[in-house]
Every structure is written in structure tokens, then in C-alpha cells.
Structure 1
Amino acid sequence: MTLAMSQEIGILQCTWGLCPVSASWFGYRPSLVMNAIFLVLFTIAFTAHLLLYLRYRTSGFSICLLIGCALEMSGYAGRIIAYTNPWSLPAFFIQINGIGLGPTFFAAGIYLCLTRIVIVYGADISRVQPKVYTYFFIINDIVSLVIQLPGGIISSLSASQGRAPTTGAHIGLAGVCFQVFSLTIWLVLAAEFAIRCYRAGRGAWETRYEKARDTVQFKLFLVGLVVAAVALYARSVYRIIELREGYTGRFARDERAFCVLEGVMIVILSFATALFHPGVGFGDAYPLITEQKAKFPRPWKKHGFFMKDIMRTEALAESSDRVDTLGLNSVGKVTKS
């Protein structure tokens, strides 16, 4: 049966006896072994992150990673279904939404770590106050998700009508491009903060977290975070190249490229964040950092964005308190006399 004849039949009516596998949603028969391995690996990562959450109560970070792992698990389960029937619409739907949206939640977890790193080294060293990193990048991640989600839905609707999901792929591409833009800014700001810490010297670093910073666990956490961020960046760039041609393009139909640049990269991310978990990295300092973070104002409050403005406001408040104290002491002396 030729491809042209299979197209006349319609992809929704295709079976092994009627259409070549090249006419399927995937363009190939997904590897059962490869996808089963990825499903097992993400199940292990999910379990590890769940246990680490129960141990360290790293709520925001762990929830993001757990959702990401769950979506990856569903995506590879869809690809396993596609092994038996690569024309299966549910399999295609599950795969593009699970594997496509999972990394957005991984990105959110990575973004949340920078706030605590800034506090550990010293918020005074940062150009902006710690909460800016949280709000700015989480909002960016939500925007990326809001763009990508309709792309997956439109792709699924197009596929349900037997049409190539080109429009949905291009919408998803816009979301991934925004994610790469956001991740690039995060990497630049993280590097900029590292340079500011280096220039300030250890003497300017926050003293209350000195013990936590000097542990091997904290240093490994920093290494793991960099590895996770680089892996996510590599995957996102690959995704841009893949979606540029749509789901029927050359890269979208290259399973080996998908295996290495999509599957392996996200496996590295999920295991790096589990093996070098922030709960282990920050140790006993984690709840103290959470308390300190809560004391910073919302970034959109007056003088609440840049650290220099917050420091100036605090200095004026302290100066005013000293004046008030001196005034009260003076009144006391006059009364006694």
C-alpha cells in the first residue's frame, strides 16, 4: 500500500494492513524497549522526589518536579500504546501533551531554587530582592504553559479530524521559544549574581548560612542545578528545531534524536534534581531561608524591587528608631531633673 493510497483512506482508518507506518502520527513505530526504559526511569524519579518531599517538605520545588515526572510518565505510556498502534489518536494526544508540557514544570522547580541561593549568599549582594526571582520567572513559566497548552489541544483537535497538526505545533513552538527566552534570562541573572558574590568576597556573604554553604551537599546541589538547567536548555533548543517543521517534519520523525535530546536530557534533569536535592543541599537552613524570604516585600510594592531601595528604606527606619529612642531618653532625663 503506498503513502498516497493511505492518505486516501484517511489516517484515522489506518491499520497495519492498510497503511505504511511512515503514514502514522509518529512516522515510525515507537521503540517498545526505549519507551519502557524511559517510563521506568521517570517512575523512579517520581518516587524519589515524592520521598524527598516527605522528608524535607520542599513544597514548591517538589510539587513542580512531581507534576513534571507524572506528565513524562504519561507521555511515554502513550508512546508504548503507539508501539501497538502508531495511528492511535489517544496515544498521539497523550504523548504530545505529556512530554510537551512536562519540562515547563521542571523549569518552574529550577527557577524557585535561585531565590534561596541568593538568600544563602546574601540578599544584599543581589541587584534585585529575592522574591523578584520567584515572581518573575514563575509568571514567565505560566505564560509559557498558557501558550503551549492550547497548542497541544489544537494539535489534538486537528488530529481527531485526520488533519496534520501544523497550527498546533506552531503555537507550541511559540511557547517553547518563550521558555528558552525565560531560561536564558535566568541563566544570565544567576551568572551575574555569581560574579557579584565573587567580587564582593566571602567577607560580604551572609554569615548565618556559612555552615550550610560550606557543606559538600550544598556544593553538589549547585552542580546538580547547573546540570539540570543545561539539560533543560538543550532539550528546549531541540524542541524549537523539532516544532519548526511541525509534527510531520524531519526532526519530529527522528526517534534517535528524540531519544537523546528529549528523553535523555529530561532524565538527566529529573535525576540531577533528585540526587542533589535542595532539601539535602540546604539542610537545616531550608526552613530558616523560608522564614527570611517571607520577610521581603512583594516586588511590586513601593521600593520593593531593587535591594538598594529596600536597604535604604531599612536604614531610614533604623535611623528614625534611633532618633525616637534618643528623644524618649531626653524626655526621661528632663522629667527626672
Structure 2
Amino acid sequence: MADGCGSTCPVPTGFYSYDQSLVGDSVLLAAYGILALAATYLGFRYRTPWFSATLAVGLLLEAIGFAGRLLLKGSPKAPAFFVLSMAGTVIGPPLMGGAIFLTLPHVIRVYGEHLSPVRPLLIGFVTYALAALAMIVQVVGMIFVAYDFNGMGRTGGSRLVVGGLGIQLLSLLGFSVFHFWFMIGLSSQKITWAPTFSPVYKSVRFRRFLLGMEMVSLLLLTYTVYRIVEMAEGIHARLFQSQTAFMIVVGALPLTAALLSTIFHPGAAFGTAWGLTSSLRVDTGPSAGLPYSSPSIQSPLEQIQHQAHFRYDPTLRGAKSPPINTLTHPSRIPGPPSGLPISPRPGAGMTPVPSPNGTAWNPETGRYSMRAEKPPIPHRMVEEDTLW
């Protein structure tokens, strides 16, 4: 494996003409690994599984890429280590961009779907599909670059990588243009923002999140343009063989984008509204158009009062009486069990007695009624002379 490329290596020393920096690669490996753990933790904390998983996988691939560079330092001609280093550093940033793409449908639903000419679900699907296609094309191209197959050599593999990077650039440009156009449209005086999530888009955290995502998009755009120029020249060219350019553009720019995505995490900006603004969620209940408010924690006393309040049903008149068997012998009433009076129902001449729940038996309708009259209050219960 150490002498895998042999005489077909891009440069006499292997895949790189310079000696990789052990300190620089180690620092970047540790930084991406720590950020991957942080993204995983924030995903569990804020319940943003898809965003956090995509971001964490991208960061983990970046860490694997720099681990491959450390392995390539010991075996500079090993194609497997070169593919490992290239795969991590090339596929990691598109996954970071894919995580950013997932936030756009949520942003649209916060301000109101009526403000967007395209459904949020369609936007998320198209941008994410483009990012996935870009990664697949780049992986295939990197394999041809590393192993120099006869049918398609390193030149053809480099072209495939450039094509995948072009798709990635197209998706980033589409995302940035649509995001910019949507934000410009929000400043128009002729439209009205949806009041449902007004506490979200009025918060300072949300505005900082939007600014952070715009900076991440700009950094990833710069990275992608650089990679297109680098791979178009070929891996034997001067730009690809420059360690300084690699550390700044390939190492530092995605790391800065990852830091911004972690600091301005959408879970902190949206709160519980992140799940409510999902493109897969359909609000059809009575509270679909009500303003959003953060859930509060009730004390034990408040919980008891809440349960006691909801035990009372104000619609007693709508309550249905027990069903009566009218299929056979409709005029015959089954006899009472042993130990009970023969006629438990009150007679026609008896005065209705209010029950504890506010109802009384009405002999005319044969059921309890709220309209039952209260029993008359007897007069002269005590003689007037006795009082004096």
C-alpha cells in the first residue's frame, strides 16, 4: 500500500510535493472532532436531529480527512490514504452546506408560507438533492484520481470532481439567491408577516442566526470556488501542491463555517418552534393560526388546579342519557336488584330535589334537567309571637 501509485504518482515524492505539517493537521483534526461532538450534543439538547446529524457527519468527515493526511505523511504514495484525506476534506463542506439548506424551510414557515412562491418542502428537497448529487460525483472522481484507472485517468477523475464541485456551487448559489430575495421581500411594506411565530423572528437570537447562516454560505461559496480552480488545474499543479493555500482555504474556512453553525445554532434561535415549523408538519388543529408562545413549566399546585378545572363540563345539557333497550318489551322496565326500592324513580307528585351537581329529576322528560325548579321555601316555620 505504501508504494501503491509507483511511477504514476503525480509528483516523484507521491501525491504531495511538500511534507505535511504534523502540528497543523493534528490541530485541525482535534478541532473538527470537538465540533462534531458539540453538534451532536446540541442536536439532543434542542431536538434538531436532521440539522445536527448532517452537520456532525460533515465535521466527522473533515476530521477523518485530516487523519488521512497524517497517515499519508508516513506513506506518501498510498492511494487509500490519499482517497481518505480527499474524501473527508471534499465531502465534509457539502454536508455543512446541506445542514444550512435544511434551515431555509423553517425560516420561511416562521415568517409565513404565503410570502414564498415555492413551498418550503420543495425548496428543501431540491437543495438537499443537489448537495447529495454533488457528493456522489466527487467521490467517484476522487477514486479515479487516486488509482489512475486506464479507462479514465487522473485527468478524467479531476474533471468529475470539478463537475461535482460545480453542482455544489450551483446549490449554494441557488440557496443564497433565494435567501437574499426572500429577505429583501420581507422589508416590503405591502406584505404582512404571519403573527403565529412573531416571538421567534422578533428575537435577537433569531436575527443573529440569520446573519450567521449568511456568513456560512459566503465561506462555503469561497471554498467551493477555490476547489474548482484547484482541481481544474490538476493535482500536479502548483495550487494543489501549496500547503499554505490548503491550510487556509481547505482547513480554516470550513472550520470557521462550522464554528458559526455551532455558535448560532438554529435550535437556540427557534426554540420549540423548530419542530412546529418543520416542512413535514401540517397544522390542522384549532390552534394552527394562534400566536406561538413558549411553553411554561407549571407548579404542582397549578397542575392540581388545572385538573380540577377541566373536570367540570359546562355542556351538561348536551350530555346524552343512558340508552334504553327498546327492541323488545319497550313498555317493560326491568326490576331493580335485591335490596333496592321497587320504584326508585320519583313520583309525579314529589318535589324535585336538587342534586349536588346542580341537576334535578324532571318527571315529565324522564331525565335530569338543569331547568328543574327549586323546592319552595316554606313560610312561617316559627310563630311570630314565639320570636318576640
Shorter-chain TM-score range:
0.7 to 0.9
Letter in 1 for 2:107: I
Structure 2 CA distance for partners of 1:200 and 1:133, relative to 1, 3 Å:
farther
For residue 330 of structure 1, what is the aligned residue in structure 2?
none
Q: Which residue of 1 aligns with 2:179?
A: 190
**Whole-angstrom CA distance in 2 between matches of 1:93 and 1:142:** 19
The letter for the 1-side match of 2:176 is L
The correspondence for 1:44, drawn from 31, 34, 37, is: 34
One-letter amino acid of the structure 1 residue matched with residue 185 of structure 2: R
The structural deviation recorded for 1:142 is 1.8
Match of 1:169 among 158, 182, 199: 158
**Does residue 121 of structure 2 align to residue 131 of structure 1?**
yes
Q: Are the counterparts in 1 of residues 4 and 78 from structure 2 also a CA contact under 8 Å?
A: no
**Cross-structure match for 1:249:** 237
- SS at 2:88 equivalent: helix
Q: Which residue is 2:291 aligned to?
A: none
Aligned to 1:270: 258
For residue 78 of structure 1, what is the aligned residue in structure 2? 68
Find the counterpart in structure 1 of residue 15 from structure 2.
Answer: 25
| Contact 1:119 1:293 (8 Å CA) reproduced | no
Between the two structures, name the one with larger relative contact order (CA 8 Å, sep ≥ 6).
1
Deviation string, structure 1 residues 313-333 (Cα, Å, up to 9, x no partner) = xxxxxxxxxxxxxxxxxxxxx
> Is 1:294 the counterpart of 2:281 in the alignment?
yes
Gaps of 5+ in 2: 284-388
Report the 3-state secondary structure (helix = DSSP H, G, I; strand = E; otherwise coil) of the residue aligned with 2:277: helix
Note if 1:233 corresponds to 2:221. yes
Shift of 1:157: 2.5
Q: Is the 8 A contact 2:5 2:147 kept in 1?
A: no
Bigger share in helix: 1
Structure 2 residue 204 is matched with structure 1 residue 216: yes
| Alignment pair present for 1:117 and 2:107 | yes
Distance 1:200 1:138 in 2: 32
| Corresponding residue number in structure 2 for 1:3 | none
1:327 aligned partner: none
- Distance change in 2, residues 1:155/1:12 (3 Å): closer
Q: Distance in 1 between matches of 2:239 and 2:193?
A: 47
d(CA) in 2 for partners of 1:223 and 1:127? 23
Q: Which moved more, 1:66-75 or 1:142-151?
A: 142-151
The unaligned stretches of length 5 or more in structure 1 are: 1-9, 297-337
Which amino acid is 1:289 matched to? T
Deviations 1:7-32 (A, max 9, x none): xxx87458xxxx9x863201211111
Q: How many residues are aligned here?
A: 279
Alignment partner, residue 64 of structure 1: 54
Name the structure 2 match of 1:88: 78
Identity %: 27
Q: Does structure 2 conserve the Cα–Cα contact (< 8 Å) formed by 1:29 and 1:82?
A: no
Q: 1:124 to 1:200 in 2, by over 3 A?
A: farther
Cα distance between partner residues in 2 of 1:90 and 1:249: 21
Taking the aligned partners of 2:183 and 2:129, their CA distance within structure 1 comes to: 23
RMSD (CA atoms):
2.3
CA 1:12–1:131 in 2, change beyond 3 Å: closer, same or farther? closer
Amino acid of the structure 1 residue aligned with 2:281:
A
Structure 2 CA distance for aligned equivalents of residues 84 and 11 of structure 1: 13
Query: CA-to-partner distance for each residue in 1:268-307, whole Å, 9 max, x for gaps?
Result: 11111111101111112112112x65229xxxxxxxxxxx
The corresponding residue for 2:92 is 102
TM-score by length of 2: 0.68
Alpha-carbon distance in 2 for matches of 1:70, 1:200? 44
Q: Does the CA-based 8 Å contact 2:141-2:156 persist in structure 1?
A: yes
Cα separation, 2, equivalents of 1:145 and 1:261: 19
Residue 144 of structure 2 contacts residue 153 of structure 2 at CA under 8 Å; is this kept in 1? Answer: no
Q: Check the 8 A contact 1:101/1:145 in 2, yes or no.
A: yes
